[in-house]
Every structure is written in C-alpha cells, then in structure tokens.
Amino acid sequence: MVILEFFKVTASFTLKDHHCRVGKCSLHTEYSNPWLQCLLFSNFICLEFWHELNHVLYSRFLHDIEWACSRIVFGIHMQINSRLYLEIPDHY
C-alpha cells in the first residue's frame, strides 16, 4: 500500500497544465522528485508524496490525473486533524 498524506489547502488547479499551486509550493506534475511532488485533486485538496512511489503508480498519477482523482475523490470531505491518511492499493 502507498500511504499518501493530504493537506487541506486553498489552491487552484487546471487539468490542462496539471498545475498545483499551494502557498510557496508551486510545482508542475512533471517535476521528477516524488518526495516533493505536489498534485491537486480539487480546489481544496493537495497531495504530497511522503513515500517514494513505485514507477508504475507514480507515472500513472502524472499521466492520468482523472484516474487519480477518481480513486481518491471519496476522501475529499474526510478530515482528521486537518490531515487525511489514505491507502491506495499497489494493484488496480
């Protein structure tokens, strides 16, 4: 399982350029470091990779944003101390 940590933030996202902008964090999904990678799945949810993702899953997140959104959209309204820990299966 890949553990992902979510932070509730005020941010903006456009699927066109896959851009995530959160405060001082402004990264494009093409950024190669999975430890710093930032993806946005809604206007209020931003994801940071705290664990090095396997190549297949990492690549799929980068190249199939809609799939990524559909897999974790159910977690958008869940919040535990402003942070949500979600497990995503290695196999899909």
User: What's the pLDDT at 77?
Assistant: 33
User: What's the pLDDT at 7?
Assistant: 36
**pLDDT tens column, 34-89:** 333 344 333 333 444 333 334 445 555 555 555 555 444 333 333 333 333 344 44
User: CB burial class (10 A; 0-12, 13-18, 19+) of residue 70?
Assistant: exposed
Average pLDDT of the segment spanning 8-22 = 35
**Residue ranges per structural domain of the chain:** 2-88
User: Is pLDDT at 33 greater than 50 in this prediction?
Assistant: no
User: What's the pLDDT at 43?
Assistant: 31
User: What's the pLDDT at 3?
Assistant: 35
8 A C-beta contact, residue 3 and residue 83? no
| 3-class secondary-structure state, position 73 | helix
